[in-house]
Amino acid sequence: MNETNTFLLDGEEIPFTPGQTIIQAATAHGVYIPHLCWHPEFKAHGSCKICTVKVNGRFGSSCTMAAQAGMNVENRSTELDDKRRTLLQMYFVEGNHFCPSCEKSGNCSLQATAYELKMVSPHFDMFYPDRPVDASHPDILLDFNRCIMCSLCVTASREVDGKNVFSMGGRGLLGRRIHISSESGKLADTDFALTDRAASICPVGVILPKRKGFAVPIGERKYDKLPINLQVTEETQ
């Protein structure tokens, strides 16, 4: 490793290899930068803005900004976490996130990030959008009430599964949503399968296998064991 390829993250020296983004370098070094739409397997989408950091005093997305030697990066400052919490509150009110009866509870990145950032209320008025549930597929349920538009399913289906089952479409806050690439718009009319990478990529509870709800007891779910900020190195979602 070239000794000059390091940057400061909250005062800690982080090594990187040229071409790595800030979040990639931090993750490889075991340091948590809060995020939702970024996934280590895929090219950054840069849409959720939760991973925003301050680089030499200026805001930037750590998932898209390349690491450079000598950078001074702020990550878990009060100012940044306050802004992240506000963004999270917006995510919660824009969808219908009822954690108490959600199968993904305890395994959900949105919920775990909210706990990590000490979000205790939605703060804003709830939108209560009318989002569809697509239960047409024999093995998989789609509950778009929980979608945060991270587009990881779109990317995984296209790049790993080679199927293009999902696409992002529509305009405006309530119009923009994930579409199913079939004539009927139903998942049953695609070749989507439980074994697809896209079937297990969703960080929230939109894409779930059917008839297996709550099979993992409380205490044994992913974030029951360790909070999200301590699961950085093993993160594959």
Nearer residue to other proteins within complex by CB, 37 or 141: 141
Smallest separation (angstroms) from other proteins to the CB of 188: 9
Question: What DSSP string describes 186-211?
Answer: -GGGS---TTSGGGG--SSSSEEETT
Q: Is 162 in the site for other proteins (CB under 8 A)?
A: no
Q: Is 212 in the site for other proteins (CB under 8 A)?
A: yes
CA distances 108 to 12, 28, 79, 89, 224, Å, are: 29, 22, 25, 15, 11
Part in contact with other proteins (CB under 8 A); list of ranges 13-21, 28-36, 129-137, 159-167 = 129-137
Q: CB–CB of 154/167 below 8 Å?
A: yes
Sole binder of other proteins in the list 21, 95, 103, 204 (CB under 8 A): 103
Sole binder of other proteins in the list 22, 25, 119, 141 (CB under 8 A): 141
Part in contact with other proteins (CB under 8 A); list of ranges 9-17, 85-93, 174-182, 205-213 = 205-213
Sole binder of other proteins in the list 1, 120, 173, 218 (CB under 8 A): 218
Q: CB–CB of 45/35 below 8 Å?
A: no
Tallying the residues shown for the chain, one arrives at 237
Extract the tokens encoding 102. Answer: 């959600």
Part in contact with other proteins (CB under 8 A); list of ranges 23-31, 94-102, 107-115, 168-176 = 94-102
97-105, long-range: CB within 8 Å, 24+ apart, which pairs? 97/145, 97/146, 97/204, 98/145, 102/146, 102/205, 103/205, 103/208, 103/213, 103/214, 104/146, 104/204, 104/205, 104/208, 105/205, 105/221
Q: Is 120 in the site for other proteins (CB under 8 A)?
A: no
Smallest separation (angstroms) from other proteins to the CB of 220: 8
Part in contact with other proteins (CB under 8 A); list of ranges 56-64, 135-143, 169-177, 226-234 = 135-143
Smallest separation (angstroms) from other proteins to the CB of 212: 7
Smallest separation (angstroms) from other proteins to the CB of 213: 3
Smallest separation (angstroms) from other proteins to the CB of 15: 41
Question: What DSSP string describes 212-235?
Answer: -TT-SPTTSSHHHHS-GGG-STT-
| Phi/psi of residue 169, nearest 5 degrees | -155, 175
Q: Is 210 in the site for other proteins (CB under 8 A)?
A: yes
Using CB under 8 A, list all residues that contact other proteins. Answer: 100-103, 133, 135-136, 141, 143, 210-219
